Amino acid sequence: MSTTTVSKPARTAGSNDHSNRSAGRSAGMTIVVTGLLVIVALYFIVPVYWVLVAASKTSEDLFSTFGFWFAPNFALWENLTQVVTYDNGIFVRWFLNSVLYAGVGSLIATYLAAAGGYALAKYKFKGSNLIFGIILGGVLVPGTATALPLFLLFSQLGMANTYWSVLIPSLVSPFGLFLCRIYADATVDDALLEAARLDGASELRIFHTIGLNILTPALVTVFLFQLIGIWNNYFLPLVMLADSQLYPITLGLNNWLSQVDRLPEFYELTTGGVLLSTIPLVIAMVVLQRFWRGGLTEGAVK
């Protein structure tokens, strides 16, 4: 009985060389991308690390020891205690003011942006494109350019140097409305809205039960942008406020920093205050990032 042997075609040297070159390019690209990501990570992490190190030093150690390493005298807890107790706890007042401005302002601004973006994306009416164009123009206008006109307006209304003078301008987010409009147009299915209308749901109920759920990743983005923007806002409170009891944390820390030439111990107060001021932003990023992951994978499985 004869047996027929079928031999597999041998891979040529050219194909092996091509595979090796492809693997080499892939490995090289991985190294480049990893290197760039490490550089970007260091760019953001190093300032936070320096603040932590500086907040653990006394005024003498801050200038006499290496800036990126801890001093033998670890004074972090003493510095933080001094921050929250100085001048009858004025820092705590500034911190709560920032929570009010940023927290309430971000929540309301996000809701208004979602409502406006959803309406512009899902309802066709005369002048909608003009309104959207005006909103795009608002995105291009820097906040510093509107601070003085807002001050003159609030002064005429008798609302300057009040909580409202900082809170009300924070309730509007042209970028947030723009983002919500784009996201709603791409993700909210018209057929889903029609099905809800056939079931007898009102437009407000459709928006709150369907629209807001689908828009969650965009809402988280808008909320974080607005939260960080309001929390770090300096120029608007500087123009609007004269009473130190109404200061947000940025204006209060700058007030302390302006006194370091006369009183060096304000270095300890300033660095400790900066460290405490970053905690709410870190918590917000850690807590809300899961909504981004959930939104990105929302349509991946049925």
Is there a contact between 292 and 217 (Cβ–Cβ < 8 Å)? yes
In the chain, what are the domain boundaries?
Answer: 27-74, 76-296
Counting Cα atoms < 13 Å in the Cβ hemisphere of 292 gives: 11
Q: Where are the alpha helices (DSSP H) in the chain?
A: 13-55, 59-64, 76-99, 105-122, 128-140, 143-156, 163-167, 174-187, 190-198, 203-206, 212-214, 216-231, 235-240, 249-257, 266-296
Please tell me the predicted confidence (pLDDT) of residue 62: 80
Cα separation, 85 vs 93, whole angstroms: 11
What is the tens place of the pLDDT at every residue in 187-223? 999 999 999 999 898 999 999 999 999 999 899 999 9
Q: Is 51 helix (H, G, I), strand (E, B) or coil?
A: helix
Lowest mean pLDDT across 53-57, 167-171, 238-242: 53-57
Please tell me the predicted confidence (pLDDT) of residue 4: 52
Q: At 17, is the pLDDT very low, low, confident or very high (cuts 50, 70, 90)?
A: low
Among 109, 94, 77, 88, CA closest to 221: 109
Among 167, 173, 150, 162, CA closest to 100: 167
Cα separation, 87 vs 92, whole angstroms: 10
Is there a contact between 83 and 100 (Cβ–Cβ < 8 Å)? no
Cα separation, 297 vs 302, whole angstroms: 10
Q: For the residues 104-130, what does the mean pLDDT come to?
A: 92
Please tell me the predicted confidence (pLDDT) of residue 20: 61
Say if residue 63's pLDDT is above 90. no
Phi-psi region of 36 (alpha: psi -120 to 50; beta: other; left: phi over 0): alpha
What is the tens place of the pLDDT at every residue in 120-151? 999 988 888 888 888 888 888 888 888 889 99
Is there a contact between 191 and 255 (Cβ–Cβ < 8 Å)? no
Which positions ≥6 away from 243 have C-beta within 8 Å?
161
Say if residue 237's pLDDT is above 70. yes
- Give domain 76-296's CATH architecture: Orthogonal Bundle (1.10)
Which positions ≥6 away from 249 have C-beta within 8 Å?
91, 94, 95, 97, 98, 231, 273, 277
Q: At 293, is the pLDDT very low, low, confident or very high (cuts 50, 70, 90)?
A: low
What is the tens place of the pLDDT at every residue in 19-46? 666 666 677 788 888 999 999 989 988 9
Please tell me the predicted confidence (pLDDT) of residue 18: 57
